[in-house]
Amino acid sequence: MYIINTINNAYIYMNMLNCNCGSGWSEYAHLFLRVVLGLVFFMHGWQKVFETGIPGVTGFLGSLGFPAPTLFAYILAYGELVFGAMMIIGLLTHWAAKYHIIVALVALLAVHAGNGFFVSTGGYEFILLILAVSIAIFAMGPGKYSVDAKWGKGQGAM
Protein backbone atom coordinates (compact mmCIF):
# COMPACT_ATOMS: atom_id res chain seq x y z
CA MET A 1 0.00 0.00 0.00
CA TYR A 2 2.88 2.37 0.84
CA ILE A 3 4.40 1.91 -2.62
CA ILE A 4 1.07 2.63 -4.34
CA ASN A 5 0.60 5.81 -2.28
CA THR A 6 4.16 6.89 -3.03
CA ILE A 7 3.70 6.34 -6.76
CA ASN A 8 0.35 8.13 -6.67
CA ASN A 9 1.86 11.09 -4.78
CA ALA A 10 4.78 11.24 -7.20
CA TYR A 11 2.31 11.33 -10.11
CA ILE A 12 0.37 14.18 -8.46
CA TYR A 13 3.55 16.18 -7.82
CA MET A 14 4.78 15.67 -11.37
CA ASN A 15 1.47 16.93 -12.73
CA MET A 16 1.76 19.99 -10.50
CA LEU A 17 5.27 20.69 -11.78
CA ASN A 18 4.28 20.19 -15.41
CA CYS A 19 1.15 22.29 -15.25
CA ASN A 20 0.39 24.67 -18.05
CA CYS A 21 -2.06 26.67 -15.98
CA GLY A 22 -0.69 29.93 -17.36
CA SER A 23 -0.94 28.99 -21.02
CA GLY A 24 -4.29 30.71 -21.49
CA TRP A 25 -2.86 33.97 -20.20
CA SER A 26 -0.17 34.61 -22.82
CA GLU A 27 -2.05 37.40 -24.58
CA TYR A 28 -2.66 39.07 -21.24
CA ALA A 29 1.07 38.76 -20.53
CA HIS A 30 1.76 40.74 -23.72
CA LEU A 31 -0.71 43.37 -22.58
CA PHE A 32 0.66 43.53 -19.04
CA LEU A 33 4.30 43.83 -20.13
CA ARG A 34 3.47 46.44 -22.75
CA VAL A 35 1.32 48.59 -20.45
CA VAL A 36 3.76 48.48 -17.53
CA LEU A 37 6.77 49.27 -19.74
CA GLY A 38 4.84 52.09 -21.41
CA LEU A 39 3.76 53.47 -18.04
CA VAL A 40 7.34 53.50 -16.74
CA PHE A 41 8.57 55.41 -19.79
CA PHE A 42 5.55 57.73 -19.86
CA MET A 43 6.00 58.66 -16.21
CA HIS A 44 9.73 59.24 -16.66
CA GLY A 45 8.96 61.46 -19.64
CA TRP A 46 6.30 63.30 -17.64
CA GLN A 47 8.79 63.88 -14.86
CA LYS A 48 11.41 65.21 -17.29
CA VAL A 49 8.98 67.51 -19.16
CA PHE A 50 6.78 68.82 -16.34
CA GLU A 51 8.82 68.49 -13.14
CA THR A 52 12.56 68.49 -13.83
CA GLY A 53 12.16 70.57 -16.96
CA ILE A 54 14.22 70.53 -20.12
CA PRO A 55 16.93 72.76 -18.57
CA GLY A 56 17.40 70.21 -15.76
CA VAL A 57 17.58 67.31 -18.20
CA THR A 58 20.00 69.32 -20.36
CA GLY A 59 22.23 69.89 -17.34
CA PHE A 60 22.21 66.20 -16.45
CA LEU A 61 23.04 65.11 -20.00
CA GLY A 62 25.73 67.78 -20.20
CA SER A 63 27.30 66.48 -16.99
CA LEU A 64 27.54 63.07 -18.64
CA GLY A 65 29.38 64.58 -21.61
CA PHE A 66 26.60 64.23 -24.17
CA PRO A 67 27.10 66.36 -27.28
CA ALA A 68 24.21 68.76 -27.98
CA PRO A 69 22.64 68.11 -24.56
CA THR A 70 19.65 70.39 -25.21
CA LEU A 71 18.73 68.51 -28.38
CA PHE A 72 19.07 65.16 -26.62
CA ALA A 73 17.10 66.46 -23.63
CA TYR A 74 14.13 67.16 -25.90
CA ILE A 75 14.49 63.82 -27.68
CA LEU A 76 14.75 61.97 -24.37
CA ALA A 77 11.99 63.75 -22.46
CA TYR A 78 9.36 63.99 -25.18
CA GLY A 79 10.35 60.62 -26.63
CA GLU A 80 9.78 58.90 -23.31
CA LEU A 81 6.44 60.66 -22.95
CA VAL A 82 5.16 59.98 -26.48
CA PHE A 83 6.64 56.51 -27.06
CA GLY A 84 5.56 55.52 -23.54
CA ALA A 85 1.95 56.45 -24.38
CA MET A 86 2.22 54.62 -27.71
CA MET A 87 3.51 51.50 -25.93
CA ILE A 88 0.62 51.60 -23.45
CA ILE A 89 -2.01 51.46 -26.20
CA GLY A 90 0.07 49.31 -28.55
CA LEU A 91 0.41 51.88 -31.32
CA LEU A 92 3.47 51.44 -33.55
CA THR A 93 4.76 49.14 -30.85
CA HIS A 94 7.74 47.99 -32.89
CA TRP A 95 9.06 51.56 -33.17
CA ALA A 96 8.29 52.38 -29.55
CA ALA A 97 10.19 49.25 -28.47
CA LYS A 98 13.18 50.28 -30.61
CA TYR A 99 13.21 53.69 -28.91
CA HIS A 100 12.99 52.08 -25.47
CA ILE A 101 15.83 49.67 -26.28
CA ILE A 102 18.08 52.55 -27.35
CA VAL A 103 17.25 54.64 -24.27
CA ALA A 104 17.76 51.66 -21.95
CA LEU A 105 21.11 50.77 -23.54
CA VAL A 106 22.37 54.35 -23.29
CA ALA A 107 21.19 54.65 -19.69
CA LEU A 108 22.76 51.29 -18.83
CA LEU A 109 26.14 52.20 -20.32
CA ALA A 110 26.31 55.93 -19.61
CA VAL A 111 24.72 56.12 -16.17
CA HIS A 112 24.34 52.80 -14.36
CA ALA A 113 27.08 50.35 -15.43
CA GLY A 114 29.75 51.81 -13.16
CA ASN A 115 27.55 51.72 -10.07
CA GLY A 116 27.34 47.97 -9.58
CA PHE A 117 24.26 45.79 -9.88
CA PHE A 118 21.81 46.97 -7.24
CA VAL A 119 19.43 49.85 -7.86
CA SER A 120 19.98 51.06 -4.28
CA THR A 121 23.48 52.17 -5.30
CA GLY A 122 22.41 53.55 -8.69
CA GLY A 123 23.30 50.28 -10.36
CA TYR A 124 21.94 48.64 -13.48
CA GLU A 125 19.41 46.23 -11.90
CA PHE A 126 16.27 48.18 -12.91
CA ILE A 127 17.47 49.42 -16.29
CA LEU A 128 18.58 45.89 -17.21
CA LEU A 129 15.05 44.67 -16.51
CA ILE A 130 13.62 47.51 -18.62
CA LEU A 131 16.00 46.59 -21.44
CA ALA A 132 14.97 42.92 -21.25
CA VAL A 133 11.25 43.76 -21.35
CA SER A 134 11.81 46.17 -24.25
CA ILE A 135 13.64 43.49 -26.22
CA ALA A 136 10.94 40.93 -25.42
CA ILE A 137 8.18 43.23 -26.67
CA PHE A 138 10.24 44.06 -29.75
CA ALA A 139 10.64 40.34 -30.48
CA MET A 140 7.11 39.18 -29.54
CA GLY A 141 5.17 42.09 -31.00
CA PRO A 142 2.31 44.11 -29.57
CA GLY A 143 -0.03 41.26 -28.75
CA LYS A 144 -3.71 40.75 -29.43
CA TYR A 145 -4.93 43.64 -27.27
CA SER A 146 -3.26 46.53 -29.08
CA VAL A 147 -4.06 49.18 -31.64
CA ASP A 148 -1.51 47.55 -33.94
CA ALA A 149 -3.43 44.25 -33.85
CA LYS A 150 -6.72 46.05 -34.53
CA TRP A 151 -5.13 47.78 -37.52
CA GLY A 152 -3.90 44.46 -38.88
CA LYS A 153 -0.25 44.92 -37.98
CA GLY A 154 -0.29 41.42 -36.51
CA GLN A 155 0.32 40.02 -33.09
CA GLY A 156 3.87 38.82 -33.58
CA ALA A 157 7.07 40.67 -34.33
CA MET A 158 6.74 43.13 -37.16
Domain boundaries, the chain: 26-150
Average pLDDT, the chain: 89
Q: What angle do CA 147, 102, 65 make, to 5 degrees?
A: 140
Q: What is the pTM of this model?
A: 0.83
pLDDT in tens, 41-60: 999 999 999 999 999 999 99
Question: What does the alpha-carbon distance between residue 28 and residue 7 come to, in Å, rounded to a whole number?
Answer: 36
Contact 24, 137 (CB under 8 A): no
Q: Is 4 left (phi over 0), alpha (psi -120 to 50) or beta?
A: alpha
Please name the amino acid found at residue 142. Answer: P
Distance CA 144, CA 115 (A): 38
DSSP state for residue 148 in the 8-state scheme: H
pLDDT in tens, 123-137: 999 999 999 999 999
Containing 116, the helix (H) or strand (E) segment is none
Per-residue pLDDT averaged across 2-22, rounded? 64
Q: Is 30 helix (H, G, I), strand (E, B) or coil?
A: helix
Asked whether residue 147 carries a pLDDT value surpassing 60, the answer given is yes
Closest CA to 96 of 27, 48, 40, 51: 40
Distance between CA 99 and CA 131 in Å, rounded? 11
